[in-house]
Amino acid sequence: MVVAACVCFGFGSGRALCGLLRGGYFLLPFWVAASLSSAHFAYGFFVLPESLPQERRTSRIDWRHANPLGALLLLRRYPQVFGLAAVFFLTNIAQFSLNSTYVLYTDYRYGWGPQIVGYTLGLVGLCSGLVQAVLVRRLMPALGERRMILAGLALCIVGYIFFGFA
């Protein structure tokens, strides 16, 4: 249950912070997550400027274009996008399944509590951020987008196989 509150914080740093906060009051991570979410909302609402130029803004909402399922209809028109969306969907299912079972598995197998799990997931988030900020930027010009996507998917498969045999 504590991990659910930590998801509000973000991938790695939130889980590490959640591990630190979990040491005391049980509901503290939830209150901190709610406070940070409220601060993010207030910052976006009061500080960030509107990016759409004044002349392109409308005063009323056209609800026909606000349909979230309408985007799925576009997938029929563009088969390449449908393939990418399907791969993205399946990759996210695998990742969220891992997020859901990691805490239970490490508690059962290794006896790890919320703090150690928070630290390990914080380390995973830090490594993920470093890969995205440093490694991808350097490899993209050499490999190109298609090879980078395929290499990333292959590495995800290898990583999930290692998790399966852990």
Instruction: Measure CA 159 to chain center.
Output: 17
In terms of Cα–Cα distance, which of 132, 122, 124, 117 is closest to 159? 124
Q: Read off the tokens for 96.
A: 């969220």
In terms of Cα–Cα distance, which of 32, 30, 24, 23 is closest to 3? 30
Tens-place pLDDT, residues 67-89: 777 777 778 888 888 888 888 89
Helix (H) or strand (E) holding 43: helix 28-46
pLDDT tens for the chain, 166 residues long, are 344 444 444 445 566 666 666 666 778 878 888 898 999 999 999 999 888 888 888 777 777 777 777 777 778 888 888 888 888 899 899 888 887 888 888 999 999 987 888 888 888 888 888 988 899 989 999 999 999 989 988 998 998 898 888 7
| Angle at CA of residue 107, ends 101 and 108, nearest 5° | 90
Rounded Cα distance, 85 and 95, in Å: 15
Q: Quick count: other Cβ atoms within 10 Å of Cβ 45?
A: 8
Please report, for residues 17, 108, 119, 148, the alpha-carbon distance to residue 7 in angstroms, rounded to integers and kept in the order given: 11, 21, 14, 27
Q: For residue 160, give every residue at least 6 positions away whose Cβ sits within 8 Å of its Cβ, in sequence order, or none.
A: 94, 98
Q: Read off the tokens for 108.
A: 């059962």
Tens-place pLDDT, residues 6-17: 444 444 556 666
> What is the torsion angle, in degrees rounded to the nearest 10, for the CA atoms of residue 52, residue 55, residue 59 and residue 62?
-70
pTM beyond cutoff 0.85: no
